[in-house]
Amino acid sequence: SQCSAILSFSFQQRIEIHKLRQGDNLILGFSIGGGIDQDPTQNPFSEDKTDKGIYVTRVTEGGPAEVAGLQIGDKIMQVNGWDMTMVTHDQARKRLTKRNEEVVRLLVTRQSLQKAVQQSMMS
Amino acid sequence: MSTAMDTESTYSGYSHYSGHSKKAHRQGRDRHKSPRSKDGSRSEKSVTIQTPPAEPLLGNDASRAEEGQDDNWGETTTAITGTSEHSISQEDIARISKDLEDSVGLDCKRYLGLTVAAVLGLLVFLTPIAFILLPQILWRDDLEPCGTVCEGLFISVAFKLLILLIGTWALFFRQPKADMPRVFVFRALLLVLIFLFVFSYWLFYGVRILDSKDTNYQGIVQYAVSLVDALLFIHYLAIVLLELRQLQPMFTVKVVRSTDGESRYYSLGHLSIQRAALVVLENYYKDFTVYNPALLTASKSRAAKHMAGLKVYNVDGPGNNASGQSRAMIAAAARRRDSSHNELYYEEADHERRVKKRRARLVVAVEEAFTHIKRLQAEEQQKAPGEMMDPREAAQAIFPSMARALQKYLRTTRQQQYHSMESILQHLSFCITNNMTPKAFLERYLNPGPTLQYDRDRWFSKQWTLVSEEAVTSGLQDGIVFVLKCLDFSLVVNVKKIPFIKLSEEFIDPKSHKFVLRLQSETSV
């Protein structure tokens, strides 16, 4: 587990999303699921079914998130420096949709990345 | 439809009498029995089952069932006891051909027990009365006068004796249901106890009162009252030992029929093995489906075909190693890639389909037949006197329309020997009388029922032998196995103790039932 902790720390991706203005709202173009107040067993993207982190469940086509490189199934670790691994669903939503921020910088981790590195480390 | 009497009997070579030959029947039965019964003494410890050589059994079974008009197997009795611990099987007795003498011997033993008990009971009942009357008769003048107290005691004695009489009648005066191989231990014990008790009372009375001509009449009457009280307590003891003790279930017995594996479970209390066997048999007649030899032939012929066609050739020399040969045959047969399982599967599927088809035809035919009959109400009975029929005639009128379908169905399910035309007509008129629907009428024929439903001739199971390693008067214990054998099959009984149950309680506060929603929301940002 020590090995995997090091791996997940190293293989995270930083994604910068520029919000798109639609009428009165600033949208990012993806949907989130998860949170410490949610049921982690129903999360289809998490590898560990007790993981209560925030995951990306949908990415709108052509939206700012897709343009920035966010993929479905990503786990959001930080948003603009704020930790997202132990927040409620609503707190996560609030942190992403602050009205005065035009750019959000996400730190995400991806299973496909982790697995690829693990395999290359093993061989 | 009538059950065709198969006049061509394969046992004609053995019979010494013509027509119904009970000896031929018996010898025919014995022919199919294993050779182990040839030796006079049987050991219960080892059971050897040797299958008879392959024979065409189908035809034999049919004819054998028609043949039996056995008056001798008429009662449900168990075999007699020998002087040994083990029971002798019925076949040995038949072999000695002393059936009549043996049945008389059994009755004598039963009646002897009854007469002893009756005499003792009468003696016991008359003893208190004798105690009270003898001083009055013998030395009336010397007795002290004893007024109200004695009269009160007389009344109490009278009523207690009456209660004792009614209680004894309720408890002991019953038709014996069965003939047991050994004496009923508790009953014998109680008789001995009562005898000793009354004997000691008489002894005391004779020595202290009669000889010395005691004049204290009140004391004598009180002595008699104490005897009656003690008798009532013995009666209470009898109830507890004979009736109450076995009521609480302590054991579960599993009963398996040896021929087709049908099994049932029963709960029993503390009983001796012979009484447990009796309970099992009483339940057998109402719970197990009737034993049908026609259903058993298929597996034997299948097994025979599987082993057939294999022959052992001894290449190495003249040594005759029989067990080695049979082992080689078994190994070769196991390795042989034959399709008998395929055959079985398709045969069973085919049979089931055929049965279902015939059953559908039968149900339709019976329903149609029942629509022809209508019950006349009281007023209508005056109007049309000419056409009225009683139930029997009505049954005979509608029977032909369903006869063929019913006969075909019974043949397919191999039940045709259990139902004669007469019995079907009787059942039909019974159903018509009681306003039963066609389905209720057919309930008897669609599935094989318990043995009690059928004619006694078809039972195949009237005399039973108890085979047990333990003494049959010993109580049931965990792990005991005993076998109830009749001529054609046996019931293997396995006794298991009901486990000791540890029950604990837990209190759940009704207010503590609380729930929370488990969500998985998705929000778009």
The Cα B491–Cα B253 span in angstroms is 12
Residue B424 CA to residue B521 CA, distance in Å, equals 71
Q: Which of B518, B522, B525 sits opposite A39 (nearest CB)?
A: B518
What mean pLDDT do residues B40-61 have? 40
Asked which of B89-98, B442-451, B469-478 is least confident by mean pLDDT, the reply is B89-98
Task: For residue B112, give the 3-state DSSP assignment.
Answer: helix
**E strand or H helix at B268:** strand B263-268
Burial B428-466 (b: 16+ CB within 10 A, else e): bbebbeeebebeebbebbeebbebeebeebbbbbbbbbb
Residue B236 has pLDDT above 60, yes or no: yes
pLDDT at B92: 54
Higher pLDDT, B167 or B311: B167
Chain A contact for B524, CB < 8 A?
yes
What chain A holds in terms of domains, given with CATH numbers, is 24-112 (2.30.42.10)
Q: What is the pLDDT of residue B42?
A: 42
In this prediction, the answer to ipTM > 0.85 reads no
The mean per-residue pLDDT over the stretch A20-24 comes to 89
For residue range B151-190, list pLDDT tens digits in order. Answer: 999 999 999 999 999 998 888 877 777 778 888 888 889 9
Percentage of chain B exceeding pLDDT 90: 38
Backbone φ and ψ of A30, nearest 5°: -150, 170
Give the integer Cα–Cα distance in Å for B452 and B284: 9
- Which residue matches tokens 């043996």? B102
SS3 letters across A55-72:
EEEEECCCCHHHHHCCCC
Instruction: Give residue A112's pLDDT.
Output: 66
Which residues have C-beta within 8 Å of that of residue B171, sequence separation ≥ 6? B235, B238, B239, B242, B243
Q: What's the rounded mean pLDDT across residues B87-115?
A: 60
Tokens 């009683």 appear where? B390
- Which of B515, B519, B524 has the highest number of chain A CBs within 10 A, making it the mutation to test binding with A? B524
State the average pLDDT over residues B288-303: 78
CA distance B121 to B190: 12
Give the model's pLDDT for residue A114.
Answer: 60
Report chain B residues whose CB lies below 8 A from the CB of A57.
522
Q: Is the pLDDT of residue B281 over 90?
A: yes
Instruction: Please give the structure tokens belonging to residue B343.
Output: 């055959």
- Give B518's contacts in chain A (Cβ within 8 Å): 38-39, 42
Tokens of B142: 């010397």
pLDDT higher than 50, residue B350: yes
Per-residue confidence band for B294, with pLDDT thresholds at 50, 70 and 90? confident
Q: Do A38 and B521 touch (CB under 8 A)?
A: yes
Q: What is the mean pLDDT of chain B?
A: 78
Judge whether B241 and B190 are in contact, CB under 8 Å: yes
* Residue (of B286, B296, B298, B294) closest to B261 by Cα position: B296
Rounded mean pLDDT, B325-333: 78
Those residues with Cβ within 8 angstroms of residue B343's Cβ, 6 or more apart along the chain or in another chain: B302
- Residue B307: name the closest of B299, B315, B316 by CA: B299
* pLDDT score of B21 more than 50: no
Give the pLDDT band (50/70/90) at residue A8.
very low
Of B519, B520, B523, the CB nearest to A93: B523
Do the chains contact at A89 and B525, CB–CB below 8 Å?
A: no
Please give the C-alpha separations between residue B463 and each of B8, B91, B242, B295, B426, in angstroms, as whole numbers: 28, 11, 26, 22, 28
Q: Is the pLDDT of residue B311 over 80?
A: no
- Which residue has tokens 């191999």? B414
- Residue B24: the pLDDT is 39
Q: How far is A120 from chain B (nearest CA, A)?
A: 34
Flag whether pLDDT at B522 surpasses 80.
yes
A4 CB neighbour count, 10 Å cutoff: 11
Residue numbers in B near A37 (CB within 8 A)? 519
Q: What is the dihedral of CA B392, B398, B401, B407, to 10 degrees?
A: -30
Of B231 and A1, more confident: B231
| DSSP letters for B418-433 | G--HHHHHHHHHHHHH
Nearest by Cα to A60 from A84, A38, A31, A86:
A31
Give residue B134's pLDDT: 87
Give the pLDDT score at B105.
58
What confidence tens digit (pLDDT) does each residue in B106-151 have?
677 778 888 888 899 899 999 999 988 888 888 888 778 888 888 9
With beta carbons less than 8 A apart as the criterion, state whether B181 and B484 touch. Answer: no
Distance in angstroms (rounded) separating the CA atoms of residues B25 and B15: 8
Predicted pLDDT of residue A19: 92
Whether the pLDDT of residue B90 is over 60: the answer is no
Query: What's the pLDDT tens digit per position in B382-415?
Result: 776 677 888 899 899 999 999 999 999 999 998 8
How buried is residue A72: exposed, middle or buried, by Cβ count under 10 Å (0-12/13-18/19+)? Answer: middle
Name the pTM for this structure. Answer: 0.63
In this prediction, residues B224-228 reach a mean pLDDT of 93
From A32, A37, A39, residue closest to B525, measured CB to CB = A32
How far apart CA A84 and CA A95 sit, in angstroms, is: 9
Which parts of B288-420 fold into alpha helices (H)?
297-307, 322-335, 340-371, 378-383, 391-412
Which residue did the predictor score with more confidence, B501 or A9?
B501
Task: For residues B27-31, give the mean pLDDT.
Answer: 42
B258 vs B60 pLDDT, higher one: B258
CA distance B346 to B338: 14
Residues A34-79: tens digit of each pLDDT: 999 898 888 888 888 899 999 999 999 999 999 999 999 999 999 9
What is the rounded distance in angstroms from the CA atom of residue B319 to the CA atom of residue B302?
31
Using H for helix, E for strand and C for coil, what is the string for B306-340? Answer: HHCCCCCCCCCCCCCCHHHHHHHHHHHHHHCCCCH
CB atoms within 10 A of CB B90: 24
Compare A122 and B482 and report the one with higher pLDDT. Answer: B482
pLDDT-above-70 percentage for chain B: 76
Quote the pLDDT of residue B73.
42
Interface of A with B (CB under 8 A): 27-28, 30-35, 37-39, 42-43, 57-58, 60, 89, 93, 96-97
Contact check, Cβ <8 Å, A89/B518: no
Residues 6 or more apart in contact with residue B287 via CB below 8 angstroms: B264, B450
> B321 pLDDT band (50/70/90 cuts)?
confident
Residue B291 has pLDDT above 90, yes or no: no
Residue among A27, A28, A39 whose CB faces B519 most closely: A39
